[in-house]
Structure 1
Amino acid sequence: MVVENINEQAATKEENKELFQQLTKRNDQYMMSLDKALIAANISEEKRVAIYNEMLKNLIKGQKSGQTARQLYGTVTERTNVLLASPKDTDTGRSEDWKIMLDGGLLMGAMFALITGLSSFIGKGQGSEMGIITMILNFVLGGFVILLISKNMPGKNKKGNTLRYILVSTTGMLGWMFVMTASMALLPSSINILMSAGVNIAIGITAFAAKIYFKRKLNIHGGLF
């Protein structure tokens, strides 16, 4: 499903390039100004591609009868305000998969790093250390599992059903925990170097801060948290 979405977006972007070449100079200038405005408003590339595809087709139709972008959509500022006010086109929708995976990975990695670090600190390092490779796997797999769960979560305007959501959630979490446990049990400490409680806590705090920063910076929506 992820690959299909990527391929579909790539095809739309390619179509947009061809459509842009058919615009008049005035309409092309309008779209370039709109693009700058939407980027400044933190509209994701995925949404911008979809917006432009629809607009470009309408503009090319309008050009045949002499209509300009401004006549069809108003000024760039007016069009931007309309798009920002529309639930369909603003950041209230679902973000790209990689953003949700980044957000989920940072959250889950931070949680486990903090739990491990605090447990090690309280237990004076008795059996609660996490190796560096296990830590990396935790961030990557945690993000992937969160992505899978969020894509299959049933609800309004979302495809899927409750049974599928439960199966995907359970399988994903069990698979994640299995890989984590296996990496700690099978990888030698010479490779999977154990980190101290302080290092784990520092990584956890940094990852939480990074999650908050990127969620605001990239306007990430559609994850679990």
Structure 2
Amino acid sequence: MEAETLREIVSENRELEQKLTKRNEQYIFDLKKSLVAANLSEEAQTLALHEILPQLVDGQKSGITARQLFGTVSARTEAILNKPEELPESTPFLMWLDNALLLFGVMSIMFSIMMLWSKGKTQPMGILTLVLASMFGGYVFYLMYKYVYQYDRPGMDKSKRPGWLKTGLILVASMFLWIVVFAGTSMLPTVINPVFDPIIVIILGGVAIGVRHLLKKKYNMRSSLAR
């Protein structure tokens, strides 16, 4: 964590501690001693207190004590020490990649099954169309997350949400371009946009979904529609 950010958290912690009742103040004092005895780093202690203090101050309004909220000092210390390691937040590139792989997998399987079911009566989808449509569609879904869905997550500052007019124009324009990419590439000659056997395309789609699953576990790839 950056030093400036850590200093801000330390400052916020101090301000919150000044608002504690005597009983809660003693609880935090004992908790700090317990965390020091457990050899927890100063940064980890600061972050742990930053999670606890706002809840304590808020609970005081209803007469709820630290012990009622978090149990004994030893129990809270144990919970802090054994807290699961949080994975880093997914980056825009990984979110786009997650979307693109999912779209490629779903479209490849869906269109190929439709083609097999209709016994060749359905217009075949070229591999270039599937790839480019998946890549561009993945970015469209990322924009939906960036301008809409991320602000529905718990703890997000909804005051930073862009205006609905700006959001609507961006999403409508990107959706239109996505359709243009889809339609434009489908008209390309098969030399540039070859059509593979539906079974092969289904296999490629399955591989894309499998790769997505592995990457999600390794890199904490967040889906754009996740809240």
Q: Residue 54 of structure 1 aligns to which amino acid in structure 2?
A: E
Map 1:158-169; keep pairs closer than 5 Å: 159-169=161-171
Q: In the TM superposition, what is the alpha-carbon distance from 1:80 to its structure 2 partner?
A: 8.7
- Could you say which residue in structure 1 is the equivalent of 2:218? 217
Map 1:122-161; keep pairs closer than 5 Å: 122-153=117-148, 155-156=151-152, 157=156, 159-161=161-163
Q: Residue 175 of structure 1 aligns to which amino acid in structure 2?
A: L
Change (3 A) 1:143 1:168: same
- Could you say which residue in structure 1 is the equivalent of 2:74? none
- Could you say which residue in structure 1 is the equivalent of 2:177? 175
Q: Residue 101 of structure 1 aligns to which amino acid in structure 2?
A: W
Identity of aligned residues (%): 24
Q: Distance in 1 between matches of 2:45 and 2:110?
A: 44
Q: In the TM superposition, what is the alpha-carbon distance from 1:160 to its structure 2 partner?
A: 1.9
Q: CA deviation digits over 1:139-162, x for unaligned, max 9?
A: 321221122121111534252233
Which of 79, 88, 104 is residue 44 of structure 2 equivalent to?
79
Larger Rg belongs to = 2
Change (3 A) 1:222 1:198: closer
Change (3 A) 1:218 1:56: same
Change (3 A) 1:78 1:118: same
Contact 2:99 2:223 in 1 (8 A): no
In structure 2, runs of 5+ residues without a counterpart are 9-34, 52-84
Map 1:108-127; keep pairs closer than 5 Å: 108-127=103-122
Matched, 1:195 2:196: yes
Q: Distance in 1 between matches of 2:212 and 2:164?
A: 28
- Could you say which residue in structure 2 is the equivalent of 1:54? 4
Q: In the TM superposition, what is the alpha-carbon distance from 1:196 to its structure 2 partner?
A: 1.6
Contact 1:101 1:143 in 2 (8 A): yes
In structure 1, runs of 5+ residues without a counterpart are 1-50, 59-69
Contact 2:98 2:223 in 1 (8 A): no
Q: Distance in 1 between matches of 2:5 and 2:143?
A: 32
Q: CA deviation digits over 1:116-147, x for unaligned, max 9?
A: 11111111222432212112202321221122
Q: CA deviation digits over 1:61-99, x for unaligned, max 9?
A: xxxxxxxxx98xx6349829957x96xx954x8521101
- Could you say which residue in structure 2 is the equivalent of 1:206? 207
Q: Distance in 1 between matches of 2:215 and 2:223?
A: 14
Using the size of structure 1 for normalisation, the TM-score is 0.58
Q: Distance in 2 between matches of 1:118 and 1:77?
A: 57
Contact 1:117 1:199 in 2 (8 A): no
Q: Distance in 2 between matches of 1:76 and 1:199?
A: 53
Matched residue pairs, number? 158
Change (3 A) 1:188 1:219: same
Contact 1:100 1:223 in 2 (8 A): yes
Root mean square deviation of aligned Cα:
3.4
